[in-house]
Amino acid sequence: MASERTRILFVCLGNICRSPLAEAIFREETRRRGVEQRFEIDSAG
């Protein structure tokens, strides 16, 4: 079970600014902390 990834989905109405920005910020933060392999990150609208 340790290899399972947590799925994170950021959603907004248009998927033009808010959710892609939230995805990028979260992705960068997980990379900075060295835990990016624990998450599957996406955005939608």
* Dihedral sign computed on CA atoms, order 9, 13, 14, 20: negative
CB 20 within 8 A of CB 13: no
Sort strands 6-11 and 39-44 into parallel, antiparallel or unpaired. parallel
pLDDT in tens, 1-45: 567 999 999 999 987 899 999 999 999 999 999 999 999 999 998
At residue 14, the pLDDT reads 84
At residue 1, the pLDDT reads 55
Residues with a known catalytic role: 12, 18
Q: Give, in order, the Cα–Cα distances in Å from 15 to each of 21, 29, 40.
A: 9, 20, 18
pTM for the whole structure: 0.83
**Can you tell me which residue has the tokens 């998450």?**
39
